[in-house]
Amino acid sequence: MKRADELKALMLANTAGDGAFTTDVPRLTLIRSSAPSGPLHVLYEPALCLVVQGAKQVFLSRDVYTYDADRYLIVSVDLPVVSQVVEASAAAPYLCLRLDLNLQVLNELALELGLAGPGSDAPRAGLRLAALSGDLKDAACRLVDLLSTPRDIPFLAPLVEREILFRLLLGDGSSLMRQIAFSESHISKVNKAIASLKRDFRRPLRVDQLASKANMSASTFHLHFKNVTGMSPLQYQKLLRLQEARRLLLGLSLEVASVGFAVGYESASQFSREYAGLFGEPPVRDIARLRAMTSYLLEA
């Protein structure tokens, strides 16, 4: 059996219908969809997204990234994006594995390999498409195959995960992987500011404080932040607030105005207006629609 067919069979065996499935392998999630989805607003975290079957598109600012069985996606920082499954059917469902990046192991590997740091070049976008090699596919297959032998996972999963990160550091997307691996790179510095912004997104935005956390001047920080995320810090904060509001409304029975205040808005009307501007409908109608959509759970 070819590796591609073997990996497909393993993915089907370990996904009970459509959805995103966490696994016993740390940081590994399996995703399956039997139909294309509409555009979904989600937060992508640093990860490898490797499609086994079907295809998906991700929209970041004005750029479109399409990944499929030939091209994987690297996510370098937390990014609010719009994504949609564009190729899937009941007979050939969309299948994707997401492996969250272990930054500590990635840094250790980069140092052991003696890789040069990314230098002082301005960072590119925080997403990168790269050609899928046979070696990377083989390692991914062995990682998923460990789900059939749970006893082996604590001992072998770290080794296979390390091999996958090794392949990424030396593969087609190596330039972005080095940016992620080295703590002094511009992307890593922006990532520190993003972590602070995620913790404090309900508070008024202070770009000077974020720049200080990234060890940059305000103007340099603004430039690098926009290069990586495709948006300004203020736009990023707004998306975080609205996505968190949507999550709260979807999971809890709360008043719309209360949720708006909870995520940092001072005006209920402004919250409803900006919510509808992003998601296309007022909160109540949007949440009713989402609850009828199983595809909303597909995260990679």
- Rounded to two decimals, the pTM is 0.94
Give the whole-angstrom CA distance, residue 251 versus residue 297.
12
Separation in Å, CA 242 to CA 141, 185, 237, 264 = 37, 29, 9, 10
Spatial separation of the C-alpha atoms in residues 73 and 67, rounded to whole Å:
6
Backbone dihedral region of 246: left (phi > 0), alpha (psi from -120 to 50 degrees) or beta? Answer: alpha
pLDDT over 90, % of the chain: 87
Which pair of structure tokens corresponds to residue 194?
A: 């993003």
Mean pLDDT of the chain: 94
Residue 215 CB neighbour total at 10 angstroms = 12
pLDDT tier at 131, thresholds 50, 70, 90:
very high
pLDDT value at residue 197: 95
Closest by CA position to 162, among listed 148, 142, 145: 142
Other C-beta atoms lying within 10 Å of the C-beta of residue 60:
21
* Mean pLDDT on 140-158: 98
To the nearest 10 degrees (0 to 180), the angle between helices 134-145 and 153-170 is 160
The CA R_g of the chain, rounded to the nearest whole Å, is 20
Which residues fall within 8 angstroms of residue 285, CB to CB, at 6 or more apart?
A: none
Asked whether the predicted pLDDT for residue 253 surpasses 80, the reply is no
User: Could you tell me which residues are beta bridge partners of residue 80?
Assistant: 43
Distances (CA, A) of 117 to 154, 181, 182: 31, 9, 7
Q: Check residue 195 and give its pLDDT.
A: 95
Supply the pLDDT for residue 2.
Answer: 83
- Which of the two residues, 251 and 221, has the higher pLDDT score? 221
Tens-place pLDDT, residues 26-62 = 999 999 999 999 899 999 999 999 999 999 999 998 9
For the chain, which domains are there? 3-181 (2.60.120.810), 186-232 (1.10.10), 235-297 (1.10.10.60)
Please tell me the predicted confidence (pLDDT) of residue 117: 78
pLDDT classification of 158: cutoffs 50, 70, 90: very high
Whether residue 294 is predicted with pLDDT greater than 60 in this model: the reply is no
In tens, the pLDDT along 278-287 reads: 999 999 999 9
Q: What are phi and psi of 137, to 5 degrees?
A: -60, -40
Cβ-proximal residues to 54 (8 Å cutoff; 6+ apart), any chain = 33, 68, 69, 85, 86, 87, 88, 92, 93, 94, 95, 96
